[in-house]
Amino acid sequence: MAFAIIKTGGKQYRVSAGDQIDVEKLDAPVGTTVSLDEVLFYGNDSDMRIGDPNINGASVKATVVDQFRADKVTNFKYKRRKGYHRTKGHRRALTRVRIESISA
């Protein structure tokens, strides 16, 4: 079974055809097909290719399934005996994609 290691949104993901992954927000409406061209590694039963840093001509086709925001993450700072505490939080914008095909 073929798999690839791709880079998107500053993170790396190991993907195969049929996988669903959550990546940093992509500017694409739901239902469209996107091409992820930063393929760092490709491997299958008999072949293995390593990029330098990317593999030329390799791409991963994915369909956008959903645009959503992750659960809230709370950041709490505290200094003991100083009366100082601070609470901040944020929610990441994510895109759920389904990997359709890998071409190397």
Q: What is the pTM of this model?
A: 0.84
82 sits in the region (left: phi over 0; alpha: psi -120 to 50; else beta) called alpha
pLDDT of residue 25: 96
- CA 43 from centroid of its chain's CA atoms: 19
Query: Is the distance from CB of 69 to CB of 30 less than 8 angstroms?
Result: no
pLDDT of residue 91: 97
pLDDT of residue 45: 86
Distance (Å, whole) CA 33 – CA 76: 39
Bridge partners, residue 33, by sequence: 63
Per-residue pLDDT of the chain (104 residues; tens, 9 = 90+): 899 999 999 999 999 999 999 999 999 999 999 999 999 999 988 889 999 999 999 999 999 999 999 999 999 999 999 999 999 999 999 999 999 999 87
Distance (Å, whole) CA 93 – CA 25: 6
